[in-house]
Amino acid sequence: MTGQRTGSRAAAGLVGLVGFFLVWEVASRTGLVPAYYLRPPSVVLPTVVRLLGDTGFLRALVATVFATLIAVAVAVAVAVPAGLLLGSVTWVRRAVMTLVEFLRPIPSVALIPLALLTFGTGPDTKITLAVYGGLWPILFNTMYALDELDPLHVETARAFGVGRLGVLGRVALPSAAPFVLTGIRLTFAISLAVVVSVELFSGGTIGLGQFILEASSGASQMDEVLAATVLAGLIGYGANAGLERLNNRFFAWNARGGGR
């Protein structure tokens, strides 16, 4: 039954994607939008295939994906323990939530000039900003998961002599896992967007953003700009689909699906 639902969602998603490309094709071919700048999919998609055979482009693609994965891993390593702490220790939560709520709305893109001055144009800049932007979904999902933790489970663990750290590791973390995975799905999309943005604005670090910046310098290369943009979207889609499948496989018991 679950497989049928997954297949139906995949088919519906494919229909929507095909419909989007058809509308794009018609709009470009009929002059509704300037075809000189917004090349139709019939031109862009073959460019995607061609770029995937180009060593220089593949190097840029790998650099972007690798930086995104590092940023997500660091965000998980920081946000999960922090979320467990804030979600379980009331006075710590009260002490730092004002600061957290102050920092969270600040967009990572607004910090690019400061980060470039501090870290330079190397990979450290895009990874640092991607970590900053991607922390919040995991942090808040972990905190809210603890808010919904069944007190009976906690009391049962304590009745068997499990201490505070044991409760966090054996009870709270497994219960929060579906929420954390939902946060990771959001974090990957945010981190990818931040990484590409930093590469685009800085121009000094290899990646999809740098490729788009260089290709956009000539109007005749707009098909390459759009092809790289489409690939970034496909990477985000593939990561989200993979994490959703992982969630369905390991956390099917969580009927609510986790997350907020």
Q: Are 126 and 83 contained in the same domain?
A: yes
- Residue 45 shares a structural domain with residue 26: no
Nearest CA to 104 among 128, 145, 134? 134
| Confidence tier at 257 by pLDDT (50, 70, 90) | very low
Residues 32, 43, single domain; the answer is no
Residue 149 lies in a domain: yes
Alpha carbon separation from 259 to 22, 141, 147, 167, 180 (Å, rounded): 34, 6, 12, 21, 7
Mean pLDDT score, 89-112: 89
The torsion angles phi and psi of 32, rounded to 5 degrees, stand at -60, -35
Per-residue pLDDT of 235-248, as tens digits, reads: 999 999 899 888 88
In sequence order, what DSSP letters do the residues of 6-40 get, joined into one string?
HHHHHHHHHHHHHHHHHHHHHHHHTTSS-TTTS--
Pair 75, 8 in one domain: no
Is 230 contained in some domain? yes
Higher pLDDT, 145 or 154: 145
- pLDDT at res. 128: 93
Task: Please choose, from the candidates 44, 184, 204, 177, the residue with its C-alpha nearest in 3D space to the C-alpha of residue 116.
Answer: 204
On whether both 112 and 145 belong to a single domain, the answer is yes
205 in the same domain as 116: yes
Instruction: Compute CA distances 63 → 59, 71, 205, whole Å.
Output: 6, 12, 9
Q: Tell whether 26 and 152 lie within a shared domain.
A: no
| Domain shared by 28 and 132, yes or no | no
Is it the case that residue 166 has pLDDT exceeding 50?
Answer: yes
Residues whose CB is less than 8 angstroms from the CB of residue 59 and which lie 6 or more positions away in sequence, other chains included: 206
The pLDDT assigned to 230 comes to 92
Residue 98 is part of a domain; what is its CATH number? Answer: 1.10.3720.10
Same domain, 65 and 133: yes
- Asked whether residue 259 is domain-assigned, the answer is no
Q: Which of 108, 115, 259, 104 is nearest to 190 (CA)?
A: 108
Are residues 160 and 123 both part of a single domain? yes
pLDDT-based confidence at 259, cuts 50/70/90? very low
Same domain, yes or no: 27 and 43: no
Predicted local distance difference test score (pLDDT) of residue 239: 93
Per the structure, the complete domain to which residue 6 belongs is given by 1-36
Is the model's pLDDT at 260 over the cut of 50?
Answer: no
- Coil, strand or helix: which one is 79? helix
| Total of domains in the chain | 2
Query: What value does the mean pLDDT of the chain take?
Result: 83
Residue 219, both tokens: 């109007």
Residues 6+ apart with CB under 8 A from 48: 227, 230, 231
Record the tokens describing residue 211, joined without a space: 């490729």
Tell me, what's the pLDDT at 72? 97
Residues 194 and 222 in one domain: yes
Q: Is the pTM of the predicted complex or chain greater than 0.95?
A: no
- Tell me the torsion sign for CA atoms 36, 38, 39, 42: negative
